[in-house]
Every structure is written in structure tokens, then in C-alpha cells.
Structure 1
């Protein structure tokens, strides 16, 4: 039995459990009956409001819904995470390396605000994504690499769907326009893609030029602020979260003061970044350079 408070891991666990149930075609009542638990227990697990999480409940849900071994271990790992407001997720620690924890968080967001030093996944072309994925997972099979890339590309529909596409505001370090990923052809296509999608009303891309120096007086590292839906009274259903990825793991912050510091940092970076039109122009210019 795991006793955890209102933490990020618990809320993410709830998202995955809900998706599993819906994919299996069960109502909450049907699933509860199959695992011999009350409907209230299942509902609280899915909404992240359970006072206690029993690992055998997670195993039972995964078994009944047909989850694979990786997903089952990942969800058990989420259930075992500590009761920390800010959560450090070390890759391969409790949760399998090939399970994307961040994906569930991203899928529930209604707005993304980001500073990146590489093209973010939601804006990557398949070739760019495939190159990075292969470099990050050199021992994986071609089939697993293809699966990862397909998942990443499929996630992009949240930005391109006709009804209520998710707004994303990205500040991209100029180094991303010059750092070779794969080949000149891949880079040309990727930069042209960024220029094209930046014309969409919900996608804002600004380039932080080299000449801006270090505007915050220190390096922030890449980060993404995720905002979630609001209830009828205007309050967030979930608190905003900052996701900061590193080489060996990722940090998730939902402490209001830390989230606000990252928002302030993004504002500071935006003030010295190029405007939208100048950024688009620079993207096209650099794409032409790679085409030569």
C-alpha cells in the first residue's frame, strides 16, 4: 500500500489509468466490478484524489485493461513516487526507460510556454525526431525507434487540430538553428517547417539571438510551463507545472513561487528575443543556408 498526498505523480497516474480504461471500453462501474473494488475507489484513482494507493489495485486495473508489462511497471512506479511537491523523475528509476512520463502531462495541458535549445518535440519533423531518438537510444530496435517517433508525431495533432488547438509559445535559442541534427537536408526541412507552422494563430516562435547574451544573468536551461483547464468558477483544475528535462532525468515543479520564477524568466527572455516576423525570416534564411 502506498500513502501519498496531492502530488504530480499521483495526478499523472490518474491520467494514464483513465486512458487505459477508456481504451478498453469500460465505464468506471464496469472496471470497478472487474477488479472487485468500489466505483469510488476507481474514480479517486483516476482523479488523483485517493488517500491511499494500493499497488495491487494498479496491477489489477492494468491486467483487466490489457496493459503491457512496460506500462504496468511504469504505473506502479508512479504510484510509488514520494510525497514531494516538486518531483525529480530519474530515468530508469522505478519507471522503465522506454515509458514517456511527460507525455501524459502534456496531453492534459491547454497552454504550453517554453524555452528550448533544441526544436521541441511538438514541432519536430519526423526525420529530425528520428535522428534525435536514435542518438538517445542507440541500443533500441528499429521498430522501437519507429514507435517512439510515431508517438511524438501523433502528439502534434494537439497543435494542428481544427477545434481549439492548444496554444504554444516557444522561445528557441539561436544555437538550435545551427546545430547539425542528422544532415543539411534534415535541418533545411526542419527550419522550413518551423517557419511554416509559426504562421498558425496558436503557434508563436521567437528566436533568442546570440547577440542577446545571457539576459537572465545565468542559464535557465530548457523548460516548459504547462497550464491546465479551469473549472466553471475560473480556478485551475490542476496547478500549473514546470517541466525541466536533463540528461539523467527531469524535474517537475508545481510550487507556485517556482512556477512564477520560470514565468518571469520566460518574460525576460521574450523581451530580448526577436519578434515573430524577424524570427520567421531568420528561420527561412538559415534553411536556405542548409540548402546550399
Structure 2
């Protein structure tokens, strides 16, 4: 994808873009075109188009509520739209886990669920979308030491729900994943857990929409320095082939995470991923080595 494919920067906030995506999906759900919905609202077509693309600088709650009525949304979905119009984090399928998800993570899950393409670099651990339940539980038991077993179970349920974005049968998102070799050799839980986890990754990499490449130790640091874990979220395109909203980068650390929306920042991360990807093994050799390391974990038990 070239930079010309990207919408111009508008200064829109992530909640506003979540709102636009939510309203676009609601409109498409009832089978309305932009023209039809705009006519029912007595709006110009461009007014609705800008709202759906997150480009409207001042969103009026009453307009959003009127759109919800036009689309026949139920009270729960209308409340979600109102929340986003108020610039608050949305409640969607994951609202049942909101006691486990801080507000900033609510935003992350929303971006992840709405993405059409996920570009993932992970140097140290297996990404959540690829984790087995046993691997996730071993990680969470350390990171959330005060959680009960029931709370840990719900965290696993949440992760399983999140994985549907790449595993669902209808229109799954594409995932391009680069894992540094350390993520496969660092033992989480025990070697039995690791062997099963690696076989799971290898199996997932056979899906048409999931590409997993391994960055071996011998490749060093392709950009000249260690990179943090990051994900580039890309969204859908309209009928003219243009992105409906700009790409977003999520870069994480132990103390927090950053979201980058500026095209220049997103481009830097995309170029870094491309440079790292050039140093990886091809898809089949990556899968073969992942399975080989799984056998090593099995033999060392």
C-alpha cells in the first residue's frame, strides 16, 4: 500500500474514528447507501461521509442519535454510539469484561476488532492473537498475581474472543506476523506449554490469511537497534479503493503504550517492519523451524 492510499490527516481522535466505523457498519447492516442515509437525514452526502471517516471535528450527539433511529438500532447499540459521540470509550462485545480492561485497553481492543490488516512485530513473547489458553494463563498468572482462577478464566475467554478477528470464517482480517526467535525459545509456563504453543503457531501459519515469519538470532538487529513490540492496524477501503480511515500504530512497553496516527510516524514503523521482514526466513522455512523448536521443547521435558 502506498501513502497515496491513505486519507489525509485530519487531526481526528481515535474515539471519533471508532464512532465513524460504528455508524458505517450500522448503515451497511441495514443495506443503506450513503446517499440513501444522507437523504433520510436531510443531509448532504459529504456530511455523512465525513462523519463515517472520522473527519467531523464537532460531532453532535443529537445527530448521532437521529442516525441510530434511522438505522433502527436497539437501545444498547444506540448507547454505544452516544458514548463514542461523547468521546468516551465504546462498549461493544467486550463490555462484559470491562472490569478486566482498563480504558486504554478498551481502545486497543476496538481497533483490533475493526482492523482488516494487522501487521505485528513481537521480539519477546507470542502475540495475544496467536496464544494458546495455557500460554496465556501462564503469562497472566504472573502479570496479575492477585487474580482468582475465575478471573484468569475470564481473561482467557476475552483473548479467545479477540482471536476471532483472524480466525472467523467470514472475512477474517489478514495478519502479517514477525516473531524474533527469542519469543519461541523463552519458556513460558513449562516446556510442555511451549511445545504446544509453537505447534499452534505453525498450524495457524497454514491459514491463507495468516503469515508468520521468524527472525532468527543470526539476523541480529536489522534496523541497527532493538525495536519495541508494535502493531500496525489497517482498516477497510471504500468503493473507490481508498482507506476509510488512517492507519494506527500501537507500540507497547512495560509502563504503558503509545498510539501513533501521523502518517510520518506510521510510515517509519511500516518501513521498519519491511526492513525486519527482509531479514526473516521465508514462510515455509519459518514454519519448519517453529516445528523444530517445538520438538526441542518436547525432548527437553
Please tell me the TM-score bracket, short chain as reference.
Answer: 0.7 to 0.9
Distance 2:42 2:135 in 1: 44
Single out whichever of 4-13 and 282-291 deviates more from structure 2. Answer: 4-13
TM-score, normalised to structure 2, is: 0.71
Question: Is the aligned partner of 1:152 residue 2:159?
Answer: yes
Where 2:201 maps in the other structure, the secondary structure is helix
- Displacement of 1:6 in angstroms is 1.2
What's 1:8 paired with? Answer: 14
Aligned residues of 1:131 and 1:181 also touching (Cα < 8 A): yes
| Cα distance change, pair 259–44 in 1 and its aligned pair in 2 (3 A) | closer
Question: Is the aligned partner of 1:96 residue 2:102?
Answer: yes
| Cα distance change, pair 224–66 in 1 and its aligned pair in 2 (3 A) | closer
Question: Is the aligned partner of 1:238 residue 2:245?
Answer: yes
Where 1:244 maps in the other structure, the secondary structure is strand
Question: Is the aligned partner of 1:205 residue 2:195?
Answer: no
| 1:65 equivalent among 65, 76, 100 | 76
- Displacement of 1:221 in angstroms is 0.9
Distance 1:234 1:108 in 2: 17
- Displacement of 1:13 in angstroms is 5.7
Across the two proteins, how many residue pairs are aligned to each other? 258
Aligned residues of 1:16 and 1:104 also touching (Cα < 8 A): no
**Structure 1 stretches of 4+ moved >6 Å:** 16-19, 43-47, 74-77
Distance 1:139 1:52 in 2: 42
Aligned residues of 1:158 and 1:166 also touching (Cα < 8 A): yes
User: What is the RMSD computed on CA atoms of the aligned residues?
Assistant: 3.7
What's 1:90 paired with? Answer: none
- Displacement of 1:54 in angstroms is 8.3
Question: Is the aligned partner of 1:219 residue 2:255?
Answer: no
Listed as ranges, the gaps of 5+ residues in structure 2 are 1-9, 28-40, 44-48, 69-74, 90-100
Where 1:156 maps in the other structure, the secondary structure is helix
Where 2:195 maps in the other structure, the secondary structure is helix
Deviations 1:187-246 (A, max 9, x none): 010000011111111111111011111110112211111110011111111101111111
Distance 1:14 1:138 in 2: 38
- Displacement of 1:11 in angstroms is 2.2
TM-score, normalised to structure 1, is: 0.73
Distance 1:14 1:145 in 2: 33
Listed as ranges, the gaps of 5+ residues in structure 1 are 23-37, 81-94
